[in-house]
Amino acid sequence: MTSTTIEHDIQSITRAARQAARQLAKLDNAQRDRALRAVADHIRANADDVIAANARDLEAARKNGLPDAMIDRLRLDAERLAKVADAVVEVADLPDVLGAVTSETTRPNGLLVQRVRIPLGVVGIVYESRPNVTSDAAALCLKSGNAVILRGGSEAIHSNRALGRCISAGIESAGLPPACVQVVPSTDRQAVKVLLAQADDIDVIIPRGGEGLIRFVTETSRIPVIKHYKGVCHVFVDKAADRDMALSIAENSKAQRTGVCNAAETILVHADVADDLVPALCERLAAAGVEVRGDDKVVALAGGTSATVVAATEDDWYAEYLSLVVAMRVVDDFTTAVAHIETYGSDHTEAIVTADAETAERFLREVNSSTVVVNASTRFADGGELGLGAEIGISTTKLHAYGPMGAEGLTTTKFVVRGDGQIRT
């Protein structure tokens, strides 16, 4: 396709989305939920088509030599597709996020001033790999009254188009404007560039994928971007930590699942308990197959254990391993732990293990990462686990949303003012 054709096609999509968003904003929650249930029905009814389309993506992935882990993330079988449809119904079951009055005040001149929740308008999602993002993102955007433009990766294009057809059929059968959800058919990278330039017709861009994709989107976009680059999450084992709890939380935070942004990458141990806890932590992590990169004290203390412990370099404190590797450091006191997190952290998620209530509250107050946790695993930093129902993404920049972001994160508020003839003097 020529670059003029791509520009024309993308602008047709974004203008249609803007129009659809205006119509969608005038509908009520029951109409949106009806459409979501119809989408789930169409996914179930067309499971064979979607799985056949997915098979084409899988074949191409094998031909292109994609790693097994990526091929697995791409795969849709009957069981996974049933879960995809269920997830859409779960979003329909969430409470309405629109129309809520978030504040109300009567001014001395009698004006009644409210703030009322409304949709953002048009959301653009740029993502890689997993085709379930197509239906998950479409569902959350529809639930929150937003039109959405979905631009997945070329590796999942057949799956995404097939899911897009189910979504469109569901939406239309419920009487919603078809352009509420649009899958960009072009896999040309130029299409993403054109999309990211449509600042008048798209209100926010949410990239989901690897750090490379997110940096590309952030640097290219003229539209506000909600994103996180990485999750360098910390577990701080305080001097007042319960020993068993510390071992269990450190292991779970690191090793329960490694390829995710809320897995711990660095463990900080208070010097007062390091003699006992560093060897114990190293043993526990070694048993879970984790390799440790330690500072001098950790290396010395772990000498007699079965763990593989190598000396950490400065780069290790910044690292998001996403694998069975963890950095470990002994810190002299609470202040040094917080300073370490401020210097090397990514504002994602930090946990403290402590039985001292005052230390816990101080940690929760002083650490301004998007999720701060006392006596629980960092792995709970997730929209579903924190009660948001579902998650469109996680933000580690503080504008608009900070932390896991669900349907409410896809809304804003307008000022609604009721008077009886007031003028300004």
User: Which among 6-14, 69-77, 112-120, 156-164 is the span making contact with a copy of itself, rule CB under 8 A?
Assistant: 112-120
3-state secondary structure of 114: strand
User: Which among 76-84, 149-157, 299-307, 382-390 is the span making contact with a copy of itself, rule CB under 8 A?
Assistant: 382-390
> Is 365 a residue that touches a copy of itself (CB under 8 A)?
yes
- Tell me which of 170, 402, 406, 407 binds a copy of itself, using CB under 8 A: 402
> Is 121 a residue that touches a copy of itself (CB under 8 A)?
yes
* CB nearer a copy of itself, residue 111 or residue 311: 111
> Is 11 a residue that touches a copy of itself (CB under 8 A)?
no
* CB nearer a copy of itself, residue 52 or residue 416: 416
What is d(CA 189, CA 133) in angstroms, rounded to the nearest whole number?
19
**Residues with Cβ within 8 Å of residue 370, at least 6 apart in sequence:** 347, 348, 349, 381, 394, 395, 396, 402, 403, 404
> Is 387 a residue that touches a copy of itself (CB under 8 A)?
yes
What is d(CA 352, CA 369) in angstroms, rounded to the nearest whole number?
13
The H-assigned helical ranges of 46-77 are: 47-63, 68-74
- Tokens of residue 255, six digits: 């090793």
Number of residues that bind a copy of itself (CB under 8 A): 69
> Is 101 a residue that touches a copy of itself (CB under 8 A)?
no
Q: Per-residue x/- marks for a copy of itself, 318-357, CB under 8 A?
A: ------------------------x---------------
According to DSSP, residue 108 is labeled: T
> Is 398 a residue that touches a copy of itself (CB under 8 A)?
yes
Tokens 């269920």 — which residue?
86
Identify which of 10, 36, 52 has the alpha carbon closest to the alpha carbon of residue 167.
Answer: 36
> Is 360 a residue that touches a copy of itself (CB under 8 A)?
yes
3-state secondary structure of 54: helix
> Is 409 a residue that touches a copy of itself (CB under 8 A)?
no
- Tell me which of 129, 160, 168, 252 binds a copy of itself, using CB under 8 A: 252
> Is 414 a residue that touches a copy of itself (CB under 8 A)?
yes
Q: Starting at the edge strand that comes first in sequence, how are the strands of the sheet with 147-151 ordered?
A: 181-183, 147-151, 122-127, 204-208
- Tell me which of 163, 176, 226, 390 binds a copy of itself, using CB under 8 A: 226
According to DSSP, residue 94 is labeled: S
According to DSSP, residue 98 is labeled: S
What is d(CA 373, CA 377) in angstroms, rounded to the nearest whole number?
8
- Tokens of residue 74, six digits: 């791409």
Q: ∠ at Cα 396 (392, 400), nearest 5°? A: 70
> Is 413 a residue that touches a copy of itself (CB under 8 A)?
yes
Contact residues toward a copy of itself (CB under 8 A) are: 22, 25-26, 105, 107, 111, 113, 116, 118-121, 203-204, 218-219, 222, 224, 226, 242, 245, 248-249, 251-252, 256, 342, 360, 364-366, 368-377, 379-381, 385-387, 397-404, 412-425
